[in-house]
Amino acid sequence: MTIAIVLILLVIATLVFHFISPWWFTPLASNWQAIDDTINISLWVVGIVFVAVSLFLAFVIIKYRYNKNRRSDFEPENSKLEGWLTLITTIGVAAMLIPGLFVWAEFISVPEDSEIVEVVGQQWHWSYRLPGKDGKLGKTAIKLISEDNPFGIDVNDTNSADDLLVNSNELHLLIEQPVKVLLRSKDVLHNFAVPQFRVKMDLVPGAVTFVWFTPTKLGRYELLCEELCGIAHYTMRGYIKVDTANDYQTWLASLPTFKQTLTRNPVNIAQGKRHYTGCTSCHGIDGQGIEVMNAPQLAGLSRWYLQRQLGSFKKNIRGQNSTDVYGQQMSAMSALLIDDKAVEDVSAYLSSLSSSQNILINPGDIIKGKLLYKNCSYCHGDDAQGNYAMNAPKLARQHAWYLKRQITSFQQGIRGSHPNDLYGKQMILMSKILHDERAVDDVVSYIHSLTNVR
């Protein structure tokens, strides 16, 4: 008897939960209203069946609960009843299936006027490519991927020169413009999913898959990888920003073509050295870093990393948090480097220097640190040597106090939380696996012990 009442209460509770739940689909931002409609139809059908079956079950339990004076009926089957039930079920199923199939037909036929965008997935970043003026993407191959050609584009393909490259986690799309998103993966399976757009599709290495939609609402939407892609799967985020025509054109104009990325300005190390003189008072003459000035070691860091960080300081992406005193300092100082050329030169100069021994304070437990560092090693390398392909800087030989401050900053969202800091978000998520100061000390001490790298 209790069970019957509980079943009734569960049905009521389920319905109440369903109708008052604040956890529901995010507001739609694409043309796929039809998907939401199909879900609603299905929810009504399954909801009615669920309520009917459960209440009937409760009713039967109450009505036919044990009574020693009664005997069960003997009724082996009732073909007529079973026939009706089959028929009704088939109708219910068809009512759900048929609209679904029509919407699916729509989903797999891409509108003629859609623009092409390529989304490239890799462990654990997104990047994008647009076809440029000719409307055609150049051919690509995995074996062509290198530091100079991270997309692996074929130089000899005539379509490739004007391809626009977005070597960051953020893609802009034009509102009300249907897009056919071509999906390509450099390494493992990924999944392109923006909940507000409703549609998603896997990225499969060795194949190009696609998905199409029309963004219908201005805004910035988070892009998630939803196919398990390794340890940092949960940090593989990106952004899709839906722009007005004007904003979109401005953004397009800021993108380099493939050809431009190939013809790099020759760097001038001597010029870089001259630029660096303004920095020596804090970072030291040889870029070795000075603890009392709270300035990290810069010598021997990779060019691309220095360039990115200096760029971030200059564009007020890093060093903007009100509690980030040192970052604010650096943000102001970075203005001394007047243009991109200066940033490139100084970066080239610093990376040509060799790093000196670093300083360790608060020695932690190296063995525990090693276990913790395992999670970091996927990107930063077993020797903390850094990895361009993973967008991960070198950590070895950096001063321990600096590493500790940065980890803590990431944990507290002081660094990396700026909306345009596209790589910082990953570190915010990852840094949280170090639960206390002790753990930070341990891992920093372990990194300190890694001296295999120049």
Partner 1 sequence: MTEMENIAIADQVDHSSHPNTFLTKYVWSQDHKVIAIQYSITAIAVGLIALILSGIMRLQLGFPNEFSFIDPSSYLQFVTMHGMIMVIYLLTALLLGGFGNYLIPLMIGARDMVFPYLNMLSYWTYLLSVMVLVSSFFVSGGPTGAGWTLYPPQAILSGTPGADAGILLMLISLVIFIVAFTMGGLNYVSTILQARAKGMTLMRMPLTIWGIFVATILGLLAFPALLVSAIMMIFDKVVGTSFFMPAILSLGETLDHSGGSPILFQHLFWFFGHPEVYIVALPAFGMVSDVIAVHARKNIFGYRMMVWAIIAIGGLSFVVWAHHMYVSGMNPYFGFFFATTTLIIAIPTALKVYNWLLTLWRGNIHLTVPMLFAIGFIFTFTHGGLTGLMLGNVIIDLPLSDTYFVVAHFHMVMGVSPIMVLFAAIYHWFPLFTGRFLNNKLGKFHFWGTFLGTYAIYLPMHYLGFLGVPRRYFAMGETDFIPESAQTLNAGITVSAIIVGLVQLIFIANVIWSTFKGKKSGRNPWQATSLEWQTAQFPPGHGNWGEKVPQVHRWAYDYSVPQVKDDFIPQNFSPEEVEYLVSEQNNTQEKK
Residues 128-157 within binding reach of partner 1 (CB under 8 A): 141-143, 145
Looking at 91-99, 111-119, 164-172, 345-353, which segment touches partner 1 (CB under 8 A)?
A: 91-99
Decide: 122 and 389 in contact? Cβ < 8 Å. Answer: yes
Short-list 311, 321, 310, CA closest to 417:
321
SS3 191: strand
Instruction: Determine, following the binding rule CB under 8 A, whether residue 15 of this chain makes contact with partner 1.
Output: no
Segment 231 to 250, residues that bind partner 1, using CB under 8 A = 231-235, 237
Q: How far is the CB of 158 from partner 1 (least distance, A)?
A: 23
Does 259 interact with partner 1 (rule: CB under 8 A)? no
HSE-up (13 A, CA, CB side) for residue 447: 33
**Exposed (0-12), middle (13-18) or buried (19+): which is 171, by Cβ within 10 Å?**
buried
How many Cβ atoms from other residues are within 10 Å of residue 366's Cβ?
15
For residue 33, the surrounding DSSP H or E stretch is helix 33-63
Residues 173-202 that bind partner 1 (CB under 8 A): 183, 186-189, 191, 193, 195-196, 198-202
**Toward partner 1, which CB reaches closer, 43 or 332?**
43
Which of 5, 12, 16, 101 binds partner 1 (CB under 8 A)? It is 101
Measure the CA–CA gap between 399 and 385, rounded to whole angstroms. 14
67 binds partner 1 (CB under 8 A): yes
**Sheet holding 179-185: strands in order across?**
164-166, 125-130, 115-122, 179-185, 209-213
CB of 349 to partner 1, least distance (A): 25
Can you tell me whether residue 105 is helix, strand or coil?
helix
Report the nearest approach of partner 1 to the CB of residue 394 (Å): 14
Say whether residue 33 binds partner 1 (CB under 8 A): no
Asked if residue 203 binds partner 1 (CB under 8 A), the reply is yes
| Count of residues that bind partner 1 according to CB under 8 A | 117
Residue 293 lies near partner 1 (rule: CB under 8 A): no
Smaller CB separation from partner 1, 21 or 277: 21
What's phi and psi for 189, nearest 5 deg?
Answer: -70, 140
* Contact region with partner 1 (CB under 8 A), list: 60-68, 128-136, 316-324, 446-454: 60-68
